[in-house]
Homo-oligomer: A and B are copies of this chain.
């Protein structure tokens, strides 16, 4: 270990780091150290820790003097071990400079190779390799790469220059270029760089090194890197490490090669060594796809395989990969280079894999005795399960991407663009598949969302109405597509340069957020045996119950297939939007007296009772939590002139009076308005009808032998007083039905805790409730004073700037919102240690949040049907994490 936290060697002679230090050495650096310690052949070098990144930022984005001093020392040391010297004209030390963050990050500066070459040291490389063409080609590549990444040189200018040169000399491919040509090209490059950037290409290898290292640290703040971090929830404060490593060359001739490999198949999970390589090439050639790489193993690559052509090196590599997988106990993604027959390991890391492969590998490794059963469970990213549950777009299809927005609900779907629910319903009836495109959806669009294949909105975030409802339906949805300008009047949407009209076909990819022109074929989901095995294992371990948010029998049935143990949130308002129902609810809203209101509600009564009965049937034996009416009434009224006029005629209310009443309903901040239990305080008739409908449905179901466990939930409670009044109302209504129908049943009456005041006053509220369910969506909105419908745009900056560590609507803000939940849990359990507690916000399907809810002792989480498997696995992982502590 160095005397500072800055610099960590990896070499036969001295290795400071190990794999446990990824947080400061980055994944690449930590693994280089680990491989060196395992005695594998790794070119020596050292890692600049993420502390250097912080020092660099703190020093106004310049390398501090003590850092450059230590790097000079270390480069000297590595040279000494290899008997080389940096910039030497006889035996020059050449290095690669690579970024290496804690997790791999696209968008950052990746690699600069061959650093240390200049007009003098090139002579040494020629002497060493006895291959002037190789040496000048290396220099040419270095100049091209360095000038682009560090000096901001336009990449294509140099490409054009090279093409011009080849054309002038009638050369067809790079292979036709000899050493002399490459010398000329390198100098042409240097001149153009000078001209374009105003700076000479650096001759001093130290200057080259400072430039490259600084560029890596700066690239941490690239827009692309920031976007990636934001999408992946990686804090900016982590910073990146940099690896400086002595070069080895896969392009020193036909006895040299370079390649990448996986210890198992990353796509299927099969236990087969799998990889590709190129003879006489540098690593970038494999990645860049200029030459087509060959398969490593004879089984697939035949005579062109590494196994066939370099059997000794192959055998060594095969043993190393086995050793690595056994050591790391996970599938590895490795990079290697063979320099004049000698194998060098350049990287190992845990390999990315499809969800399908993840399941298979985890289960296989357990069976092989490599990892324990619980370890295999820990290996699977709960979020990845989503991939398995939805149809996905055929990845081999060539797509025209129109825009990329927020991937709100996974899956892939194609269809004709429609701009209204009505049109979607109309076309559905004709068997036409549609994509519903809106600026934003509202409960009025539910019918259209059901009828369409997928939903695209130009506004809203990951927890907007469209996103939440679509996830609930398991329907593909892309939201917040800024580039899309929707015009309802002209029935078209402008996306960038393209105009898409009603009837045009588009495709949405809910996994990537891509909006694609035309139709793309899809692949159906396959819930194989591995999925089931993992789920059963998770169920064995988890303590937390997993329920679902479901508003109708179809969703309820779907959720049970995915393993939901009851409904944690059944939103009754979605039931009001049916064509026979919406006018009845509107009449109720427009009623002038309690009697008129009751009359209108009477029309809905039968529908509600039937809805509840169907849901009870689908959830036979499980609890069903029904939330009484929650949204403000204006969500149900018409919003356009035409609809208003039509309504006026249908219900026979003069247009003037209707409009004036609709005006009265408008609210500046509906989220904080006349909704939830406040409606029932004003109009008790609504909850009375709903309670009676629940009671009737329960008794009807019981008579058919169905086991019903209704939990009636009152939303937006702020005080014990509200709950007292409304609980009495509910109990009185249910009792009256029980007496009338001469039948009893057990039920609970509880409340949502979704306002800071309710959380703070839970000690007063708990004695009047049979259960609490935390509505963490609204609790997040109020605690943070942040509208989820309006914040999508600026929240991005908040996450990318590190003000929030992640989107608080996706993963619960543990510091404040979580603290309020804890306060409430404590109060409730203080009142009754067995007090029933659940959560039904969107956070119920987020693994981080599930872990938090497990930790604070909730009884269950409830999430949309398609997130039920995720929550089950996350709940099991929470138990395992707890055991690890």
A817–B757 alpha-carbon span in the complex (Å)? 7
- Say yes or no: is A719 at the interface (Cβ < 8 Å to chain B): yes
Q: Contacts A485-B660, A660-B485, A757-B785 known; A670 to B670 CB distance under 8 Å?
A: no
13 pairs across A/B with beta carbons < 8 Å?
A668-B787, A669-B781, A669-B789, A669-B790, A671-B785, A672-B787, A681-B794, A682-B794, A682-B797, A718-B786, A721-B802, A760-B783, A760-B819
Per-residue contact bits, chain A 452-488, to B (CB 8 Å; 1 contact, 0 not):
0000000000000000000000000000000001000
List, in ascending order, chain B residues with CB within 8 A of A238's CB.
Answer: none
Of all A-B residue pairs in the complex, the 6 with the closest CB atoms, nearest first, are A672-B787, A757-B816, A669-B787, A673-B790, A755-B785, A756-B756
Interchain CB contact under 8 A, A671 and B673: no
Q: Contact string, A677-702, partner B, CB cutoff 8 A, digits 1/0?
A: 01001100000000000000000000
Question: With contacts A671-B672, A672-B785, A760-B820 known, what are 12 further pairs, Cβ within 8 A?
Answer: A667-B787, A667-B790, A672-B791, A681-B798, A681-B801, A721-B803, A725-B803, A754-B785, A756-B756, A756-B783, A757-B815, A782-B783
User: Complex Cα distance A258/B804, Å?
Assistant: 75
> A810-835 CB contact bits vs B (8 Å, 1 = yes)?
00010111011000000000000000
Query: How far is A624 from B755 in the complex, measured between Cα atoms in Å?
Result: 34
Q: Kindly list chain B residues whose C-beta atoms are within 8 Å of the C-beta of A794.
A: 674, 678, 681-682
Compute how far the CA of A607 lies from the CA of B28 in the bound complex, rounded to whole angstroms: 56
Main secondary structure of the interface of A (DSSP, over half): helix
CB-CB contacts below 8 Å: A761-800 with B = 761, 778, 781-787, 789-791, 793-794, 797-798
Instruction: Say if the beta carbon of A504 comes within 8 Å of chain B.
Output: no
Question: Is residue A32 contacting chain B, with contact meaning CB distance below 8 A?
Answer: no
The residue from B671, B682, B721, B785 contacting A668, defined by CB atoms under 8 A apart? B671
- Select from chain B the residue with minimum beta-carbon distance to A760: B816
Complex Cα distance, B791 from A756, in Å, reads 18
Chain A residues 330 to 364 lying within 8 A of chain B, measured CB to CB, are none
Complex CA distance for A428 and B782, rounded to whole angstroms:
42
A722 touches B (CB below 8 Å): yes
A215 CB-CB contact with B under 8 Å: no
Q: Say yes or no for A716: interface residue by CB 8 A criterion.
A: yes
Q: Is the CB of B756 within 8 A of A787?
A: no
| Cβ A672 vs Cβ B781 within 8 A | yes
**Are A757 and B781 in contact, CB atoms less than 8 angstroms apart?**
no
| Contacting residues, chain B, for A671 (C-beta < 8 A) | 668-669, 671-672, 785, 787
A667 to chain B: which residues have CB within 8 Å?
787, 789-790
- What residues of B have a CB within 8 angstroms of the CB of A790 in the complex? 667-670, 672-674
Which of A668, A794, A803 has its CB near the most chain B CB atoms (within 10 A)? A668
Which one of B718, B756, B757, B791 lies within 8 Å of A673 (CB-CB)? B791
Q: Which chain B residues border A797 with CB–CB below 8 Å?
A: 681-682
Beta-carbon nearest neighbor of A482 in chain B: B664
Distance (Å) between the CB of A732 and the closest chain B CB? 14
Set of chain B residues within 8 Å of A820, measured between Cβ atoms: 756, 760
Assembly CA distance A718 to B719 (angstroms)? 25
What chain B residues lie within 8 Å of A673 (beta carbons)?
787, 790-791
- In the complex, A802→B681 CA distance in Å? 12
For the complex, give the distance between the alpha carbons of A340 and B732 in Å.
58
Q: Which residues of B contact A783 (CB under 8 A)?
A: 755-757, 760, 782
Q: Which residues of the other chain, B, contact A485 by a CB distance below 8 angstroms?
A: 660
Q: Is B778 within 8 A of A757, CB to CB?
A: no
Per the bound structure, the CA–CA distance linking A681 and B801 in Å amounts to 9
Given the complex of chains A and B, what is the CA–CA distance between A610 and B435 in angstroms? 55
For A791, the chain B residues whose CB sits under 8 A away are 672-674
CB-based contact B785/A725 at 8 Å: no
| Most-contacted residue by chain B among A669, A760, A816 (CB, 10 A) | A669
Give A732-754 interface residues, CB cut-off 8 Å to B.
Answer: 754
Query: What's the Cα separation between A722 and B783 when bound, in Å?
Result: 16
- Bound together, the chains give a CA A61 to CA B316 distance in angstroms of 94
Count residues of chain A with CB under 8 A from any CB of chain B: 50
Closest residue on chain B to residue A465 by CB atoms: B668
Pairwise interchain contact B719-A803, C-beta atoms closer than 8 A: yes
Question: Which of B660, B674, B721 is within 8 Å of A793, CB to CB?
Answer: B674
Instruction: Please name all residues of chain B whose beta carbon is closer than 8 Å to the beta carbon of A817 when the two chains form the complex.
Output: 757
Q: Are B716 and A803 closer than 8 Å at their CB atoms? A: no
Residues 185-217 of chain A: 1 if any B CB is under 8 Å from the residue's CB, otherwise 0? 000000000000000000000000000000000
Query: Contacts A682-B797, A784-B718, A785-B718: A813 and B668 contacting too (C-beta < 8 A)?
Result: no
Residues of B within 8 A of A761 (CB): 815-816
Note all chain B residues with C-beta closer than 8 A to A801.
681, 721, 725
- Docked-complex contact B718 and A789, CB < 8 angstroms: no
Q: Is the CB of A672 within 8 A of B669?
A: yes
Give Cα A722 to B682, complex, Å: 40
Which of A670, A783, A802 has its CB near the most chain B CB atoms (within 10 A)?
A783
- In the assembled complex, the Cα of A13 lies from the Cα of B782 at a distance in Å of 62
In the bound complex, residues from chain B placing their C-beta under 8 Å from that of A672 are: 669, 671-672, 781-782, 785-787, 790-791
CB-nearest residue of chain B to A784: B757
Q: Please, how many angstroms separate the alpha-carbon atoms of A791 and B678 in the complex?
A: 10
CB distance A760 to B815 under 8 Å?
yes
What are the residues of chain B within 8 A of A798 when measuring CB–CB? 681
Question: Which of B668, B725, B782 is the one whose CB lies under 8 Å from A782?
Answer: B782
A213 to chain B, nearest CB (A): 27
Q: Which residue of B lies closest to A442 (CB)?
A: B668
Q: CB < 8 Å: which of B669, B803, B815 contacts A722?
A: B803
Contact, CB under 8 Å: B756 / A816: yes
The distance in angstroms between the C-alpha atoms of A722 and B802, with both chains bound, is 10
Chain B: minimal CB distance from A292 (Å) = 45
A828-859 residues at the B interface, CB under 8 angstroms: none
Contacts of A785 in B (CB 8 A): 671-672, 716, 718, 754-757, 778, 782
Q: Chain B's nearest CB lies how many Å from the CB of A481?
A: 13
- For residue A718, give the distance in angstroms from its CB to the closest CB of chain B: 6
* Docked complex Cα distance between A781 and B719 (Å): 15
CB distance from A755 to the nearest CB of B (A): 4
- Complex CA distance for A783 and B757, rounded to whole angstroms: 5
A725 to B754, CA, bound (A): 30
Distance A794 CA – B722 CA, assembled complex (angstroms):
13
Min CB distance, A10 to chain B, in Å?
35
Please, how many angstroms separate the alpha-carbon atoms of A797 and B798 in the complex?
A: 40
Q: Which residues of B contact A760 (CB under 8 A)?
A: 783, 815-816, 819-820
Among residues of B, the one whose C-beta sits closest to the C-beta of A793 is B674
Q: Which residue of B lies closest to A679 (CB)?
A: B794
Measured in the bound complex, the distance between the Cα atoms of B757 and A819 in whole Å is: 10
Question: Which residues of B lie under 8 Å from residue A725 when comparing CB positions?
Answer: 801, 803
Give the docked Cα–Cα distance between A793 and B668 (Å).
14
Smallest CB gap from A805: residue in B: B721
Complex: A787 Cα to B681 Cα, angstroms: 17
Set B681, B755, B813, B816: member contacting A803, Cβ < 8 A:
B681
Most chain-B Cβ atoms within 10 A of its Cβ — which of A667, A760, A817?
A760
- Expressed in whole angstroms, the Cα–Cα distance for A755 and B819 within the complex equals 14
Complex: how many Å from CA A761 to CA B784?
11
> How far is it, in angstroms, between the C-alpha of A781 and the C-alpha of B673 when the chains are bound?
10
Digitize A480-505: 1 where CB-to-B-CB distance is under 8 Å, 0 elsewhere. 00000100000000000000000000
Q: Which residues of B contact A803 (CB under 8 A)?
A: 681, 719, 721-722, 725
Closest Cβ neighbor of A798 among chain B residues: B681
A670 to B787, CA, bound (A): 8
